[in-house]
Structures are given as structure tokens and as C-alpha cells.
Amino acid sequence: MSKPLKGRVTLVTGASRGIGYAAAEALAEAGSDIIALARTQGGLEALDDAVKAKGQSCTLVPMDLTQTDGIDRLGAIINERWGKLDGLLANAGMLGEITPVPHLDPKTWDKLVNVNLTANYRLIRSLDPLLRASDSGRALFLTSGVAATRRAYWGAYAATKAGLEALVQSYAKEAEVTALKVNLLNPGATRTAMRAKAMPGEDPSKLPNPSDIAPLIVKMLSPEYSETDQIINYRETV
């Protein structure tokens, strides 16, 4: 079987379930070694088994992304062990509350900003030198359609995703003269725990599985993918 990502190392955040888990499996199937970051130890251990069954190494990082000093230490560890990072899938995110803006709980707001926006800035800050050290570094951040539609009651989540898009697209432009390619992916409604929380009355059987999204993620993190500074909508690719 072809291994287009052979010899590459990819960091996946939110890797213990959903899109992150499925993407990590698919990336390993394509030949990449995986650095898997998530809060849930059990899910990480299951992923470790799945990745190793595909013949790749899996380094587990059980960490909450709000521990920003830990992100800095992670960058130092990756540099010491590999001296580069070929791929970053910034998948971890938090839904928060679907509620009118005036009713938002301040603590929930602060955590949303920390997880969905600040943590991604800290990942960029820590990992940028490592991504540039790769001969074909690829960074992919997951966004949402509500960043543009700004639906009623979704204000906090929409604000953090809109902020993420602004941050990532500025970063992409800064990297244009390098080999690093930086993009965003909107997977759309997917059969995940986050979607079930947001839309409890929805029929999940009508939604794509995370494994349906994974091949596009592999493509966008591959050396052959030459686009940068793009927001790709999964629904427009199928």
C-alpha cells in the first residue's frame, strides 16, 4: 500500500475521539508517525493501539490545552526528539453554551476563548519554527460555518471561530514565502459528540462520520498539497 506520508511526524490535537481520532488513524495509515494530544487518557490509549497496528509510532500527550505552559514545553520536546514537525492538525475545540449573548456565563466565555483561540495562538507560537524546519510543513486548523453565518445563540462559539480564522489567515500570509502551507477546514455537521450536544434532536445517521472527513485531512497535510491561506468546506469537496 502507498504511504505518501512516510517519514513524517504529525501532531493532532483533540485526538482522543471524533474527527481528531479518525484523522490520526488515517494519517498513520498513510505512513505518518503521530503525536496525539487530548485530555482523555482512555481515548488516547485506544488510539495508541490503532496507530501502532498500522505500523507507526504514537506519542501520547495527555494535556489540557488551557495549560499554555505545557504547549511551550511540548514544542521543546518535539524539537529535542525530532528537530521538526511536518504536520499540525489543530482539531481540539469546545462548543460552550448555545444561548443568547447576554446570558453567556463569563467563566464559559473565558474557557471558550482559551481553548478555541488562545491555545491555537500558543500552538503557532511554539510550533512555527518546527513546521518551518520541515521541507514541507503543513498546518490545518478546524473551523465552523458559524464563523461566517453568526447564527443567533451561537455567539460565543462563532466569535472564537471567526477570531481563529483571522489569526490563521494572517499567519498563512506571513508564511507565503516559505515551504509551509497553512489552511482551515470547515467539516460541516459531522457525527460527533459535540454535534450531538449542539443538536440533540438531530438524526445522526444523516450526517457524515469523522472517518469520511479524514481522507481530506490527509490530503491537506500531505507534501503534495500546495494551496495555502484557504478555508475549505468539506461539503464542497464531495
**What's the pLDDT score for residue 93?**
95
**What's the pLDDT score for residue 217?**
98
Collapsing DSSP states into helix, strand and coil, what is residue 5? coil
E-strand ranges in 63-199 read: 87-90, 138-142, 181-186
Mean pLDDT by 10 residues, the chain (238 residues): 92 96 98 96 95 97 93 97 98 94 96 97 98 98 96 96 98 97 91 72 78 97 98 93
**What's the pLDDT score for residue 90?**
98
**What's the pLDDT score for residue 188?**
80
In a domain? residue 1: no
In a domain? residue 4: no
User: Any bridge partners for residue 59, and if so which?
Assistant: 35
In a domain? residue 157: yes
**What's the pLDDT score for residue 173?**
98
In a domain? residue 40: yes
Q: Which structural domain range is residue 63 located in? A: 9-237
Instruction: Answer for the pair 72, 126: CB distance below 8 angstroms, yes or no.
Output: yes
**What's the pLDDT score for residue 17?**
94
Could you tell me the CATH number of the domain that includes residue 87? 3.40.50.720
| pTM for the predicted model, two decimal places | 0.94
Q: Which helix (H) or strand (E) holds 11?
A: strand 9-13
Burial group, residue 10, by CB count within 10 angstroms (0-12, 13-18, 19+): buried
In a domain? residue 69: yes
Whole-angstrom distance, CA of residue 115 vs CA of residue 99? 19
**What's the pLDDT score for residue 198?**
66
Instruction: Provide the number of structural domains found in the chain.
Output: 1
Would you please indicate which residues are annotated as catalytic (active-site) residues? Answer: 157
